Amino acid sequence: MKVILHPGECADGMWIIRDNDSNPFVLAVDCKSRQIGRSISTKFSSSESGAAMNDLPGRGSQALHFLNMAKDATAWPVKDVQAGSMLDALRKGRFLYVYLSTQAESTFGVGDHILHMGRADSERFLSFFKSYYMLHRSSSSSAEAEAARDEKMR
């Protein structure tokens, strides 16, 4: 199930995937990191988020926003949580926030819920959508310079 996000939200795409037992898993994907429009209060200590948080785009501010939403989800009364919902998945820790980067070389994880995909893994993840992604990225003037750099690196 695709989740329709507010334009200013912390991810570019989000899906709820259910296994055979209807257990939900939330996948949030950020294709081009940006700072979200408000300050982020970090509820996670550096040991929880890992030293690699500083290596994430925008120092991981969008992923931190998502992690904070998940932490806030645990405060909801159990009687208000619908089985198989996004809230259910967040409460159970069944989610992953993925940064796609067609420029970075390395893929690395931060804690249990954040993954930064480097060029090769991002291209495999995008599969046949890669051309569309590159076209979309190149449609803004700020991305034109990045796209030119990508082509030179190949």
Q: Encode pLDDT of 59-71 as tens digits.
A: 888 899 999 999 9
Q: What is the pLDDT, as a whole number, of residue 9?
A: 83
Please state the pTM of the whole predicted model.
0.75
Q: Phi/psi of residue 81, each to 5°?
A: -95, 120
Low-confidence ranges of the chain (pLDDT < 70): 32-51, 137, 139-154
Mapping DSSP to helix (H, G, I), strand (E, B) and coil, where does residue 136 land?
A: helix
Give the DSSP H or E segment for 143. Answer: helix 141-153
- Residue 121 buriedness (CB in 10 A; 0-12 / 13-18 / 19+): middle
The predicted pLDDT at position 133 comes to 76
Q: Which residues contact 67 (CB under 8 A, 6 or more apart)?
A: 43, 44, 49, 97, 113, 114
Question: Measured between alpha carbons, how far is 123 from 137 in angstroms, rounded to an integer?
Answer: 14
